[in-house]
């Protein structure tokens, strides 16, 4: 479990790389540990090996890692080769790496060199940890997390009329809003629909948290986005999928799509853009489209204490949540659209 604790420290920082932690044990004592800090930086196994003060102990040690050591030369040398060079004779891992250049090759190379490799240790927990990475490579699309807040009487928002003030009708408390900013920092991108940009004018940043700003994504099939929208301010990378001629520059890019494009086309486009995970924050039309298509993996649903009496009906999910949480004046339910025990 220590590998998982270490690996989670890289959440939101490794881009398309997996979350990996590594621990080296000599005679039941940890002598080195490390994790993958950031995209392009040394891998967990490298950091763990470097942390061992007495390198002569490595041949008699066991290296634990939640993911198969890599076997290819990328931005860093292959970790499986380093393990062999250091004469580490026993390696324990949770999951195979689905990346095409690895996918069992790292294990095979180590075993051929005489390394004793044990796989499948806490495999379900390992899959859950790296669910974004596995979904991205296995399904060829981002891991999709839907998020919304609903009132006690089941509404997502008030009905907006022409001339109504632009802004958010808050449902949740301040703690919940800060939590959402933490979630944003953990994903590759945030997505909202055109109507949400027009009515709420969100900034879609992590001003309440620390970390790398996610890519902002919106759909603007008919070119309705106002030019002064906050998400077009150039402060962070933004992708606008649109059916009209691109008119953006700098850190805001337009990606031209056919007017008949659907969510499957969008997922393919995001995969091409190397977006490994996306937090879909609304509005109702976009969320319901994801639910109807089945192209979602996780949903996080807040329920606040307020009531609207009438308004935009919140999306509905069949089935029971896998987790329920409560804090302050808000409750939170977590739903999954897959069975993690299968992997």
Please, which contacts does 257-263 make with residues 24 or more away whose CB atoms are closer than 8 Å? Answer: 257/221, 259/221, 261/221, 262/293, 263/289, 263/290, 263/293, 263/295
> Alpha carbon of 34 to those of 20, 47, 93, 280: distances in Å?
9, 5, 15, 32
Please, which contacts does 76-80 make with residues 24 or more away whose CB atoms are closer than 8 Å? Answer: 76/40, 76/41, 76/42, 76/43, 76/46, 78/106, 79/43, 79/45, 79/46, 79/106, 80/105, 80/106, 80/107, 80/109, 80/110
Which member of 33, 38, 45, 333 is catalytic?
45
In 3D space, the residue among 155, 112, 126 whose CA is nearest the CA of residue 2 turns out to be 126
Residue 201 tokens read as: 């004018």
Geometric angle at alpha carbon 90, from 86 and 91, rounded to 5°: 95
Residue 125 is a catalytic residue: no
Strand 189-193 and strand 277-280: pairing? parallel
Cα 210 to the chain's mean position, in Å?
A: 16
Close Cβ partners of 266 (under 8 Å, ≥ 6 residues apart)? 219, 241, 257
Residue 288 tokens read as: 């319901």
The strand pairing partners of 23, in sequence order, are 33, 64
DSSP 199-211: HH----S-TTS-S
Catalytic residues: 45
């Amino acid at each position: 479990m220590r590998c998982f604790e270490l690996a989670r420290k890289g959440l939101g920082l490794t881009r398309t790389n997996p979350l990996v932690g590594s621990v080296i044990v000599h005679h039941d004592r940890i002598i080195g540990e490390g994790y993958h800090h950031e995209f392009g930086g040394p891998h967990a196994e490298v950091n763990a090996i470097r942390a061992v003060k007495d390198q002569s102990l490595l041949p008699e040690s066991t290296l634990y890692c939640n993911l198969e050591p890599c076997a290819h030369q990328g931005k860093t040398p292959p970790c499986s080769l380093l393990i062999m060079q250091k004469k580490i004779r026993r390696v324990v891992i949770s999951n195979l790496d689905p990346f095409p250049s690895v996918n069992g090759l790292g294990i095979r190379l180590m075993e051929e060199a005489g390394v004793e490799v044990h796989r499948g240790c806490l495999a379900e927990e390992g899959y859950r940890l790296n669910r974004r990475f596995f979904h991205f490579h296995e399904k060829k699309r981002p891991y999709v997390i839907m998020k919304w807040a609903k009132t006690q009487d089941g509404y997502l928002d008030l009905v907006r009329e022409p001339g109504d003030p632009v802004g958010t009708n808050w449902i949740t408390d301040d703690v919940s809003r800060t939590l959402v900013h933490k979630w944003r920092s953990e994903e590759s991108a945030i997505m909202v629909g055109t109507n949400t940009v027009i009515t709420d004018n969100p900034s879609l940043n992590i001003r309440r948290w620390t970390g790398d700003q996610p890519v902002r994504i919106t759909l603007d099939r008919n070119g309705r986005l106002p030019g002064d929208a906050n998400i077009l301010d150039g402060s962070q990378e933004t992708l606008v999928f649109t059916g009209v001629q691109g008119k953006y520059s700098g850190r805001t890019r337009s990606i031209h799509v056919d007017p008949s494009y659907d969510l499957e086309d969008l997922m393919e486009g995001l995969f091409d853009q190397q977006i490994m995970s996306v937090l879909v924050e609304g509005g109702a039309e976009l969320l319901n489209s994801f639910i109807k298509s089945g192209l979602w993996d996780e949903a996080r649903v807040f329920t606040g204490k307020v009531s609207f009496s009438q308004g935009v009906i919140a999306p509905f999910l069949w089935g029971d949540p896998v987790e329920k949480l409560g804090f302050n004046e808000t409750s939170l339910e977590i739903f999954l659209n897959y069975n993690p025990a299968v992997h």
